[in-house]
Every structure is written in C-alpha cells, then in structure tokens.
Amino acid sequence: MTRGNGEPAPDTTRWSDPTGPVVAVVVLTAEPPPAHRSVEATRIGGRPLLDRTVRVLHAAGVRRVLVAAGRRSPDLVAGLVARHAPPAEPCPPPAALPPGRYLLVGAGAIFDAETVRDLAERTGVRCTDTTLAVADAGTAREVLAADAPDAALDAVAGLALRPAAGFATTLAGDRDVRRVHRALWHRYGSKPSDGLVCRYLNRPLSRPVTLLLARTGVWPDLLSGLSFAVAVAGAAVIGFGGHWWTMLLGGVLVQAGNALDGVDGEVARIGLRTSRRGALLDTILDRYADLAIIAGLVLAAGGRPVDWAFGFAAAAGSLLVSYLNVLVPDAPRRLLRRDVRLLLCAVAAAVSAPLAGLAALAVLVNADAARVFGMVLRRAPGTR
C-alpha cells in the first residue's frame, strides 16, 4: 500500500507492541518571537538542525519519525517535514498515540546514531547529556499535551539517567552554535588512522578553517578540489620558480595543501555529507597531487637522469604505500603516510634541497612499503 505520492504508507501494525521498535517524536520548541529563529531551523554543519535530527534517527534504524509542533500551525509542521529526504510526518494528537515505546527528542538535541541505538534498547531512560528520553505512551502523551512540550520534556521525571554512548549535547540557541561546532570537531574532526604529522600539525591547522566552513554548508567535494589546487600550485612554483624564495613559497603551499586535505573530510563528517563518491574523488586527487609535487622537485633539482630516477622511485613507492593502504586496510600501521611524505617534500623545497628530499623520500617510502608487504605476505594463507 502506498500514499498518493507513491511513498510507502506508514506501517502501524507494530505500534502497539511495547517491546517493538521505538518511534521517535521530535518535540519542537514553542513558537519563537518574529525577530528570532527557532532552534530547529538553526544550521549545524550546514544543515537545519531538524533535518540533521531526522537523518541521524533514520541512520540509527528508527523507522518512524514524528514531528510534534505543540501549538504551532499544522501547515508549518507540514512544511517542515515535507523537506526531508529521510521521511518524517506530523505527530498525531497526544490522545491518539497508541501504546508503544517513544524516543522523545528535544528540538535542541544534537546526538549521533550510537547514542540512539543504545537508548532504544530499553524503556524509562533519559540521556544525561541532552534532551533524549525513551518512555512509554503515557509519558509521551503528557509531554505532548503540555502548553510548552519542549519545557515539559526537559522537566520530565522518573526516568533512569544514562550517559551518552556516543556524542550528545544540547543547542541552547543561536549564540551556542560555535560551541556545538567545536564539540562536533573534537568528536569527528580526527580519525583513528591519523599519523603523527596529521594529528599534531595538520589537524590544528585545519581546525579553524573547518569551523569557519562547516557553518556555510559548502560541499566537501569543492574543498577536495581546493586542497588539490593548492598542492599543485605549490608543485608548479617549486618546479618553475628558479629562486630560493620561490622554493620556500612552494614548500609553504605544499604544506598548506597537506593541511587543507583534511578539511573536506572534517566538514563532511560534521555535516553528515560523507559518501563513497567523495572518498574516491579525494583519493584520486591526492594521487595526482603527489605526482605533481614529486615532478616539481625533480624539475627544481635540474631534471637530470639521476633526478628523474629518484623521482620515479619516490613516486612508485608513494603509490605502492597508498595501494597497500586500500588493498589491506588492516595491515600494520605505516610510518610514511601521506601527511609525512608531503611534509618531507615541503621541507626539502623550503630549504632548497630538492634532490636530497627526493632521495630520502625514495629510500624511506620503498623501505616502508617493503616492510608492510613482507608482513602481509607472511600473514596471507597459501603454500610456504
């Protein structure tokens, strides 16, 4: 059975099961004064908070998301929920809520799917870090029937407190957006696979850029192109500059591209815009940038056969390390990650020692690739 617009009709057959799937009810704030924006319209990571909330709930496996507007106009609620690609629907009157389990979500709540999945495993609990609670239908009716449902949700008692399993906080208003973005960056900015250079140099450099751009909603693919352009510009300045100060400028640009390479991923994770297409684009552009930087160092060194030999060895080893990283993601940690390789190239250019940089990169990256490749072969099944 489908709606008139071709979408599947809501499945109400399991609403009455008190142990069945939880139904999320997003409780909007009281209608704001004309001069102020409502909390749910505030943009977090370039998305309206209500849109972000619906997406996270669906990512956590919540099949039904209802939006309760209190005394707001039904047309306003219909307009809010109609804009969501993950489906949401207006909440029925409180008295019409059937028995079941309800995840009550405050309009200012910001959380991740891990916290939702953890809370949804039980009833009668509330997250200690934000206005998230799992309650029975009676409690849900009391909250939704109040004159200010958001305030009633904040004051609901009798629920066991439970710490957030993942990320959870509450947006207090427009002036609180900066704090929330900083908290999201600390949660999603870095990755467990970050190397030393990335963790202690590149991430601190990319952090202010990410916090500035995350609020604009800029598409991460554009940022991938920007970091690529900066790195290639550095390679061109190194290869064709011909002066010590152009070498220094090129090294600075290469390191700037190295730091900016993390901005696209940070913005994507904060704004819930990660995708396989974006990851593929970033990977391809990184390989082209690596080759351009090595070619720039070769030209800066004079372009002699020995320069090209070291350049070829450095390029081959860099590509092999990147290939092993994708082919065997659980391989032992490699020392010569891209952040280290680009920093080495940037330093070699800045001190006007392109050939020494190429030689060091060629030796180190191939030795590291051989080390990892040997470990992988020893662990691989087959005849010895």
Provide CB contacts within 8 A for 58, sequence distance 6+. 65, 86
Taking the C-alpha atoms of 259, 261, 266 and 269 in order, what is their torsion angle to the nearest 10 degrees?
-170
State the DSSP code for 31.
Answer: P
- Give the Cα separation of 317 and 143 in Å (integer): 62
What are the φ/ψ torsions at residue 229 (nearest 5 degrees)? -65, -40
**Quick check: is 174 catalytic?**
no
The pair of three-digit structure tokens given for residue 114, joined into one six-digit string: 């891990």
The pair of three-digit structure tokens given for residue 82, joined into one six-digit string: 């109609």
Whole-angstrom CA distances from 336 to 4, 243, 361 are 57, 29, 9
Output the DSSP codes for 211-268.
Answer: HHHHTTT--HHHHHHHHHHHHHHHHHHHHH--SHHHHHHHHHHHHHHHHHTTHHHHHH
Q: Which of 290, 223, 285, 293 is nearest to 260 (CA)?
A: 223
Catalytic residue among 264, 282, 286, 368: 286
Contact, 104 vs 135, CB < 8 A?
Answer: yes
Distance of CA 58 to the CA centre of its chain: 17
Other Cβ atoms within 10 Å of 330 Cβ, number: 6
Distance of CA 73 to the CA centre of its chain: 34
Element (H, E) at 110: strand 109-111
The pair of three-digit structure tokens given for residue 98, joined into one six-digit string: 């059937």
Q: Please identify every residue annotated as catalytic.
A: 286
